[in-house]
Amino acid sequence: MAIKIENLDYVYMQGSPFEKKALDNINIEIKDGEFVGLIGHTGSGKSTLVQHLNGLLKPHSGHVFINEHETTEKGEKLKKLRCDVGLVFQYPEHQLFEETVYKDIAYGPTNLGLPKEEIDIRVRDAARCVGLPPEVLDKSPFDLSGGQKRRVAIAGVIAMKPSVLVLDEPTAGLDPAGREEILSQIKSIYDEGNMTVILVSHSMEDVARLVNRLIVMNEGKVFADGTVDEVFSRGRELRNIGLNVPQVNVLIDELVARGLNINPNIYTVENAKNELIEYFKRIKEGGENA
Amino acid sequence: MLKDITLGQYFPIDSFLHRLDPRTKILIFILDIVAIFMAQTVESYVVLILFTFLVMLISKVPVKMYFKGLKPILYIIVFTALLNLFLTQGEDLPIFGYSVGITVEGAIVAAKMATRLVLLIIGSSALTYTTSPMALTDGIEKLLKPLSKIGFPTHELAMMMSIAIKFIPTLIEETDKIIKAQQARGASFDTGSIFKRAKALIPMLVPLFISAFRRADELAIAMESRCYTGGDGRTRLKEIKFTHKDLAATICFLMFFACVIFLDFIF
Ligand SMILES: Nc1ncnc2c1ncn2[C@@H]1O[C@H](COP(=O)(O)OP(=O)(O)OP(=O)(O)O)[C@@H](O)[C@H]1O
Ligand SMILES: [Mg+2]
């Protein structure tokens, strides 16, 4: 499912004193099967952008195409678009409403008009994907913990089998263990299905090790777009717009600035270790030669 | 969508009217309503229209905004005007020489009623555009203060009003978000039979009520943990004050008011 965004502008409360330009000339193209991280700090327009992907918001100027279909289409085509692009909102646990977890996950597939057996398969499959044990399915969603509720909500979208899965800050407000778990489940969903995944976050550390492409937003504009290496090579600029690049990258950056001759594009502890060992080896050899 | 509804309608700019004490504005508004309903003669209407124009001018709120306020009740105005026009008994008023059932009295009453409604709406718009909802409730609380002597819960009433007003935007936003989230799961709120549509509202209403209760709970805890114990001995961040500006505005309005009375009863 290829996504193409052209010169997209969006303004909230147009014409009122509270007018706010949330998106400013966005141009992005995402190919099938990519795993994209969308990063930016609070208010940079991430949520606004992803809501354009399934036509919940319409561009004020510019175009959004999902597989050649523009998101301004209406009726059945819009419905089709909404199943193609599955959007998990920020704090999705606030949308649960059914008596049981099972029914809540089944809400999406039911709206698609699928047969009962198919729905059953999908519900169980989605629950397994997000790591919900089968006995939870008969409980009320309101009796679950925050992290479990979030998983139910994510399962509700996965059960619709979208070809693009967009997750808006799926780890917001979770403890480190819960965060880790959800992220690794998202990773395995990406690995197992043929879905394009777009992961929104304001934490570099969270997404950097999962995705193969990073898009950084700042004040409604695309600030950087490229592979993780390419984006992190601008570490200093990223910190200037208030993003937390991985700490080890900060360290390496500092070392390079002090004149160490090492590769600056490092963002995992493992790579840093290897690079530093190499560096000291070189020094030692150089020192012996001299 | 939903968020485009401008509730409370405060228009945050700076003008003479914005800086007036809310009590002054509320009282003037009430007297203005009285004057509008008392007015009988054409002259007194002219005075009232002049006054309304003056208020619109001083408020610095774009005229467009006032028309926006009129739009929703335009039908009511036209409808009442038409009713009055055709149903009032009296001397026949021929149009281009033909009798179409309109009477002279009917035309007069229709014009009066329409003018009254328009003036009323513009007046209330002027009040809400220039007074923040918080200032408005503060003003109402202060004005009702004497009633607390006889046990009327003025503070509680004002607190409830201000909380309700403050949470309108939050709830609208919340509703908007929930609708979108359910639409993302394939819900449609605008197709099918009435029964189907009503049922489609459940996925929106349940989360909305839950979140409203959760918010109410959290707010109560937050207020209590900051030692809220009710109105006694509470001071305000922004004390409302009656200044010379208010005096000037009051005198100015009373002159208009006197004009209306004079034109109606003495003239
Ligand atoms: N419903 C709305 N009405 C008016 N302005 C809005 C609305 N939603 C967002 N905005 C504004 O648009 C800008 C972008 O908001 P958006 O929600 O897209 O940011 P975000 O990157 O998702 O932030 P966060 O990390 O906090 O979720 C913000 O400045 C915000 O104040
Ligand atoms: Mg957001």
pLDDT single digits (tens) B133-145: 888 888 988 898 8
Q: What is the mean pLDDT of residues B81-100?
A: 79
pLDDT for the residue B7 = 46
Task: Tell whether the model's pLDDT for residue B263 goes beyond 70.
Answer: yes
Quick one: three-class SS letters along B203-267?
A: HHHHHHHHHHHHHHHHHHHHHHHCCCCCCCCCCCCCCCCCCHHHHHHHHHHHHHHHHHHHHHHHC
Token pair in block for residue B73: 């009740």
* Structural domains in chain A, sorted by start: 3-234 (3.40.50.300), 246-290 (no CATH)
Count other Cβ atoms within 10 Å, centred on residue A129.
Answer: 19
Instruction: Give residue-wise pLDDT tens across range B121-171.
Output: 999 989 989 998 888 888 988 898 888 888 888 888 888 888 888 888 888
Q: Which residues of B touch A96 (CB under 8 A)?
A: 207
Give the separation between CA A184 and CA A202, rounded to whole angstroms: 17
Instruction: Give residue-wise pLDDT tens across range A219-268.
Output: 999 999 999 888 887 877 888 888 877 788 788 888 888 988 888 777 77
Cβ A72 vs Cβ A38: under 8 Å: no
pLDDT for the residue B220 = 92
pLDDT for the residue B1 = 42
Predicted confidence band at A205 (pLDDT cuts at 50, 70, 90)? Answer: confident
Helix (H) or strand (E) holding A196: strand A196-201
Contact (CB<8Å) B203/A107? yes
Task: Tell whether the model's pLDDT for residue B267 goes beyond 70.
Answer: no
Query: What is the DSSP annotation of A7-46?
Result: EEEEEETTTSTT-EEEEEEEEEEE-TT-EEEEE--TTSSH
State the nearest Cα–Cα gap between A177 and chain B, in angstroms. Answer: 26
Q: Which residue has better confidence, B233 or A29? A: A29
Q: Which of A12, A142, A160 sits opposite B186 (nearest CB)?
A: A160
pLDDT for the residue B3 = 45
Q: What is the end-to-end Cα distance of chain B in Å, rounded?
A: 52
Q: Which of A90-94, B4-8, B52-56 has the lowest mean pLDDT?
A: B4-8
Token pair in block for residue B135: 């200032």
pLDDT for the residue A7 = 94
Task: Tell whether the model's pLDDT for residue A212 goes beyond 90.
Answer: no
Helix (H) or strand (E) holding A165: strand A164-168
At CA B239, angle to CA B236 and CA B243, rounded to 5?
175
Give the separation between CA B34 and CA B32, rounded to whole angstroms: 5
Predicted confidence band at B4 (pLDDT cuts at 50, 70, 90)? Answer: very low
Token pair in block for residue B179: 């609708």
Per the structure, the count of domains in chain B is: 1
Mean pLDDT across chain A: 88
Residue with tokens 């399934």: A54
Ligand found nearest the CA of A217: 1
> What is this model's ipTM?
0.82
Task: Tell whether the model's pLDDT for residue A289 goes beyond 60.
Answer: no
Q: Which of B11, B184, B207 sits opposite A97 (nearest CB)?
A: B207
Q: B121 lies in which domain range?
A: 2-266
Q: Of the candidates A181, A175, A100, which has an alpha carbon nearest to the alpha carbon of residue A134?
A: A100
